[in-house]
Amino acid sequence: MANESQLKPREVKIKVHDGVEIAVALYMPPGEAKFPTVLAPSPYRYDNNTLPATPQFLWRETGPINAFVANKEFNSPELHEKMLLPFYDHYLKGLDTGYGKRPAVEYFVRGADAVRTAESWPPPGVRYVTWNLSAEKSGSVTSLNDGTLSRAAASGEAATSYTYPNPGWMLGVVGFGPNNQPDSARRVLTFTTAPLEQDLEIAGPIKLVLHAASSRTDMDFFVKLSEQMPQSPDDRAKGLNPASYWITKGWLRASHRALDPAKSTEMEPYQSHTKPEPIEPGKIYRFDISVEPMAHRFKKGNRLRLEIVNGDSTVTDILWTHYYAPNKIGTDTIYHSAQYPSALTLPVTEGA
């Protein structure tokens, strides 16, 4: 393939799923190359250009289990022939490829191994359901606190604190279990539901509201939503943690908490990141954290688990690793009471 300097880009404007128009550069290899390449900058870095708007729309939630599999799929001729070439031929060459007759939104639901279609995103009819963080013990996982996620009001202690760096952190914020294997939950805060009574399917934006304070003038939130599997009583008695896998993630630095009211919605907080403001040690603040949108089906009998900490690890987060900084020394407190509720809101399409 020709190198980038040999390619001549054609810039067009595309409206993506949240309504933001982005400019993308279509790099067409010289000659009769079959598969052009799209380079698409972030919509929030490239949405003030002067290119004319177009009705083009290309967005796909695919089903690979991780980014490595997704990369392999993207590099396959089959994906380009099925998904991308009809788009390019329709909008760049004016050919009738049938692309315009496709549903407005097609998204893959992890856990269901199914592709669903909708007229818009989030899908029509989605219900936003809230689970409250609570100090009550779930009894299902060994972590710094073993809190719960519940549809009912929070109960138990009004706050949960942890001090860092934790002496059990061995690989970033990951410790080791009794079996000498890395354990992503053991040394972080967790809030876990009871076993699901039926399948629960979500599709759309996810929001976490935390009321929190720190002994420092700043703090970091690394948030994961995971699906936790059932575990035998024998393994639970041994202190082993149940199998789980993370579904989606969110991040926020406290000093970047300020919201942009023009771009924020009820379910999608948008931080401006233009004027970082330190926090006052010991003072309680509200933080609206956008967790990456996801379509997933949680299975009956499994649990939802929310994990909160202030860093990550190359063991569990190899693609988005933010190394724990040694100058972060202090205590953070998450509040979960009637006065200072903390809650996770999910876009439910089935169940709950």
Whether 90 and 175 share a structural domain: no
Task: State mean pLDDT over 30-37.
Answer: 50
86 with 100: CB under 8 angstroms?
Answer: no
Query: Torsion angle of alpha carbons 187, 193, 198, 200, nearest 10°?
Result: -70
Amino acid at 201: E
Amino acid 10: pLDDT? 62
Measured from the Cβ of residue 326, the count of other Cβ atoms closer than 10 Å reads 7
**53 vs 238: which has the higher pLDDT:** 238
Cα 128 from Cα 69, distance rounded (Å): 31
Task: State mean pLDDT over 310-314.
Answer: 87
pLDDT digits (tens, 9 = 90+) for 96-135: 998 888 888 889 999 998 999 999 999 999 999 999 999 9
> Given 91, 118, 145, which residue is the final one in a domain?
118
Measured from the Cβ of residue 71, the count of other Cβ atoms closer than 10 Å reads 11
Whether 176 and 38 share a structural domain: no
C-alpha torsion sign, points 110, 114, 120, 123 = negative
Q: Are strands 147-150 and 303-309 parallel, antiparallel or unpaired?
A: unpaired
Query: 336, 341, 342: which is closest to 135 by C-alpha?
Result: 336
Whether 162 and 271 share a structural domain: yes
Report residue 317's pLDDT band, with 50, 70 and 90 as the boundaries: confident
> Given 90, 118, 146, which residue is the final one in a domain?
118
Q: Which domain holds residue 74?
A: 4-118
Task: State mean pLDDT over 319-346.
Answer: 90
**Residue 74 three-state SS:** helix
Whether 175 and 261 share a structural domain: yes
Q: Residue 258 to residues 253, 254, 261, 308, 348: CA-CA distances in angstroms?
A: 10, 9, 9, 20, 27
Q: Is 77 exposed, middle or buried, given 0-12, 13-18 or 19+ CB atoms closer than 10 A? A: exposed
Amino acid 30: pLDDT? 55
> Given 85, 118, 151, which residue is the final one in a domain?
118
The H-or-E segment that residue 244 falls in is strand 244-253
pLDDT digits (tens, 9 = 90+) for 64-97: 666 677 777 778 888 888 888 888 888 888 899 9
Whether 150 and 113 share a structural domain: no
Amino acid 93: pLDDT? 86
Task: State mean pLDDT over 275-297.
Answer: 97
Whether 305 and 340 share a structural domain: yes
Number of structural domains in the chain? 2
Q: Is 219 exposed, middle or buried, given 0-12, 13-18 or 19+ CB atoms closer than 10 A? A: buried
Amino acid 101: pLDDT? 86
Cα 66 from Cα 60, distance rounded (Å): 15
Q: Are strands 182-183 and 175-176 parallel, antiparallel or unpaired?
A: antiparallel
Cα 65 from Cα 35, distance rounded (Å): 25
The CATH code of the domain that includes 232 is: 2.60.120.260
Amino acid 323: pLDDT? 73
- pTM of structure: 0.81
Amino acid 41: pLDDT? 42
pLDDT digits (tens, 9 = 90+) for 191-223: 999 999 999 999 999 999 999 999 999 999 999
Amino acid 45: pLDDT? 36
